[in-house]
Amino acid sequence: MKAIILWIAIITCGVRADQYYYTKKYIDVPLDHYSYTSNLTFKLKYLVNDTYHTDRGPIFFYTGNEGPIDTFAQNSGFINDISPDFNALIVFAEHRYYGESLPFGNKSFSSPQYLGYLSSEQALADFVYLINELQKTYSPSGTKGKLPVIAFGGSYGGMLSAWLRMKYPASIVGAIASSAPIWQFQDLVPCDNFYRITTTVYNVVGGSTCVDNIARSWKDIKRLARNDTGKANITKILSLCKPLKTDGDITDLISYLSEIYINLAMVNYPYPTNFLAPLPAHPIREFCSRLNKPYKNDVEMLSMIGSAIGVYTNFTGTTKCNDIGDPDGPIDADGWNFQSCTEMIMPMCSKDNDMFENYSWDFKTYSDTCFKNYQVRPRSEEIPILKYGGKDIKSASNIVFSNGLMDPWSGGGVLSNVSSTVVVIIIPDGAHHIDLRGHNNLDPDTVKIARQFHVRHIQKWLYAYKLDNSMNRPTVWSV
């Protein structure tokens, strides 16, 4: 049984060359928006770029994910690219309990008493609260009516964008939800979708030999690790920071490798990027080029894998060793782990037809692990469906769901139109929310088309808003 791996959370900042300019700001928001046992507030961080904002231009509002907001601001250039044409104010809001937005400082993760206010619904209410303040602050004085807001988000941030529109449609006029696996809950989709799609990506991009090597390797690694010599060999050839010692270390190693393979699929972009890690263009192609022949023995297997993972762990050439105990890097994995144990319960399993170790979904075991680690249990597997409606989202409106079919998370996404206003754009060769990234000359046409699709819907929503609200003077966007 693998450890609970919380894929979305694995965001390492690495070396970042900031490309987009933002002013850092903070707003006091209520700790608890839904109950009144306490009147505490805390400082929520957000980033603002008002360079392009003129007249009554809209607010483009990124609903922050499970990590420091700066990472997302630097990796969602699409919003920046289109803002001048809309005269938009750009805001990236951090999600509570991530980055600097810690309600109880360094005590925030110490127990459910402090950590318990971390939930998607509280985060949505933070966003509503912040949006309201922004609308008051940035409306030109003397004008009436609220500035319209478009929400953007990728991955969990995309789920939040979609949910924000569903739950608070008066706060935003529409949402661009990119790679948002809002159906990765209970039995809404097969639990093996994620690993199966990941395997498909490797097959298509890296070739079947690469996949076969990975599929074979688990058994060999575990056999090798049975004795101390084998453990030492693995430690050495994979450049691990700490020597493998216990069975738990082996489990951690397997999780570590699995995460790397998955992350590579998520960020298999056609140009060099620095989102989950500094990476070359087409990283899986590069990765699999180092695993492109059947290995003959354990040493060869380890050497090839060691070389291949270097694409992810050491593209800059500055990594001294690989730390399997800290796969999440500088991120507060405790935050997402806690969310996964309370509301974001995403069943995952791995079967024979994928390249990962078999892994069955067992809610009881999952719940026990949650209790051991965080003193909470998911109340039931159906909680997220009760909260957000599961597949019954036809009464929502003004949401674009975009999914790259080469993204492991697309298996939990909305892949066909739900209604005339809850619509889908597919990027057949796209990885994880590539459409939210800034323009790149190497973008495939499918990504360009998706971005045009987004722009057209944003125009439509804003135009409808303009018609619905008698404004003092003509707005600047046009359709």
SS (H, E, C) the chain: CCCCCCHHHCCCCCCCCCCCCCEEEEEEEECCCCCCCCCCEEEEEEEEECCCCCCCCCEEEEECCCCCHHHHHHCCHHHHHHHHHHCCEEEEECCCCCCCCCCCHHHCCCCHHHHCCCCHHHHHHHHHHHHHHHHHHHCCCCCCCCCCEEEEEECHHHHHHHHHHHHCCCCCCEEEEECCCCCCCCCCCCCCHHHHHHHHHHHHHHCHHHHHHHHHHHHHHHHHCCCHHHHHHHHHHCCECCCCCCHHHHHHHHHHHHHHHHHHHHCCCCCCEECCCEECCCHHHHHHHCCCCCCCCHHHHHHHHHHHHHHHHCCCCCCCCECCCCCCCCCCHHHHHHHHHHCCCCCCCECCCCCCCCECCCHHHHHHHHHHHHCCCCCCCCHHHHHHCCCCCCCCCCEEEEEECCCHHHHHCCCCCCCCCEEEEEECCCCCCHHHCCCCCCCCHHHHHHHHHHHHHHHHHHHHHHHHCCCCCCCCCCC
Interface with a second copy (CB under 8 A), residue from 1, 232, 299, 386: 386
83, 101, 119, 155: the catalytic one is 155
The distance of closest approach from Cβ of residue 56 to a second copy in the complex, given in angstroms and rounded to an integer, is 17
Binding residue (CB under 8 A) for a second copy from 44, 393, 405, 425: 393
Tell me if 52 sits within 8 A of 82, measured CB to CB.
Answer: no
Stretch touching a second copy by CB under 8 A, among 312-320, 392-400, 405-413, 435-443: 392-400
Stretch that binds a second copy, among 60-68, 234-242, 371-379, 445-453 (CB under 8 A): 371-379
CB of 42 to a second copy, least distance (A): 14
- In order of 5, 206, 215, 303, 384, the CA distances from 244 in angstroms are 20, 29, 21, 17, 38
Stretch that binds a second copy, among 90-98, 128-136, 176-184, 449-457 (CB under 8 A): 128-136
Among 3, 52, 81, 112, binds a second copy (CB under 8 A): 112
Cβ atoms 290, 37 nearer than 8 A: no
DSSP bridge partners of 359: 350
Is residue 300 within the footprint of a second copy (CB under 8 A)? no
Give whichever of 219 and 394 is closer to a second copy, judged by the CB atom: 394
The footprint of a second copy on this chain (CB under 8 A) covers a number of residues equal to 47
Residue whose C-alpha is closest to residue 254's, from 220, 203, 304: 220
Is residue 33 at the binding interface for a second copy, with CB under 8 A as the rule?
A: yes
- Does position 394 interact with a second copy (CB under 8 A)? The reply is yes
The one segment of 53-61, 81-89, 198-206, 388-396 that binds a second copy by CB under 8 A? 388-396
How far is Cα 274 from Cα 16, in angstroms, rounded to an integer? Answer: 7
Give min distance, CB of 400 to a second copy, in A.
15
Q: Is 82 in the site for a second copy (CB under 8 A)?
A: no
Could you say whether residue 35 binds a second copy (CB under 8 A)? Answer: yes
As measured in angstroms, the least distance from the Cβ of 286 to a second copy is 42
Q: Does 460 bind a second copy (CB under 8 A)?
A: no
Task: With contacts defined by CB under 8 A, name the span among 26-34, 62-70, 74-82, 215-223 that binds a second copy.
Answer: 26-34
Which residues inside 168-197 make contact with a second copy, applying CB under 8 A?
168-171
Q: Catalytic annotation on 407? A: yes
Cα-Cα-Cα-Cα torsion 417, 418, 419, 422, nearest 10 degrees, comes to -80
Smaller CB separation from a second copy, 38 or 54: 38
139-158: contacts with a second copy (CB under 8 A): none
Binding-site member from 329, 389, 438, 444 for a second copy (CB under 8 A) = 389
377 binding a second copy? (CB under 8 A)? yes
Does residue 429 touch a second copy according to CB under 8 A? no
Using CB under 8 A as the binding rule, whether residue 132 contacts a second copy is answered as: yes
Q: Is 390 in the site for a second copy (CB under 8 A)?
A: yes
Q: How far is the CB of 412 from a second copy (least distance, A)?
A: 17
The answer to the question of residue 472 lying near a second copy (CB under 8 A) is: no
Tell which one of 2, 25, 43, 167 touches a second copy (CB under 8 A). 167
Q: Does 241 bind a second copy (CB under 8 A)?
A: no
- 439 in catalytic set: no
Residue 9 exposed, middle or buried by CB count within 10 Å (0-12, 13-18, 19+): buried
| CB 136, min distance to a second copy, A | 10
List the one residue from 63, 80, 83, 119 that touches a second copy (CB under 8 A). 119
Question: How near is the Cβ of 234 to a second copy at its closest, in Å?
Answer: 39
- Residues tagged active-site: 155, 407, 432
Contact footprint for a second copy (CB under 8 A): 30, 32-39, 112-119, 121-122, 128-129, 132, 167-171, 338, 342-343, 376-377, 379, 382, 385-386, 388-390, 392-398, 468
